[in-house]
Structure 1
Amino acid sequence: MVYKIPWYVALLESVPEIFLIIQVGFILFNIDIDWKKSLVISLGGGLVSYIVRMYITIFGVHTILIMIAIIILIRLVLKTNFIYAGVGILTGTLITGILQLMVTPLLLAITDKNMNDLRTEPWLSIMFFIPCALLMLLLYVIVKKKCFYLIDFSGSVRMDRNDEG
Structure 2
Amino acid sequence: MTAIPPGSMDRSTPGALADRAAIHDVVAAFGLLFDSGGWIALGELFTEDARYELVPPPEGLPPVLETRGQVVAGMEHLWRHNREVLGLHQRHVTTNVLVTELGPEEATAHSVLTITGTHPDGRVELRRAGNYVDRFRRTGSRWRIAHRELHLVEPPVIGFGGEVG
Note whether the superposition's TM-score is higher than 0.5: no
TM-score, normalised to structure 1, is 0.29
- Comparing both chains, which one has the higher relative contact order based on Cα–Cα distances under 8 Å and sequence gaps of 6 or more? 1
| Structure number with higher strand proportion | 2
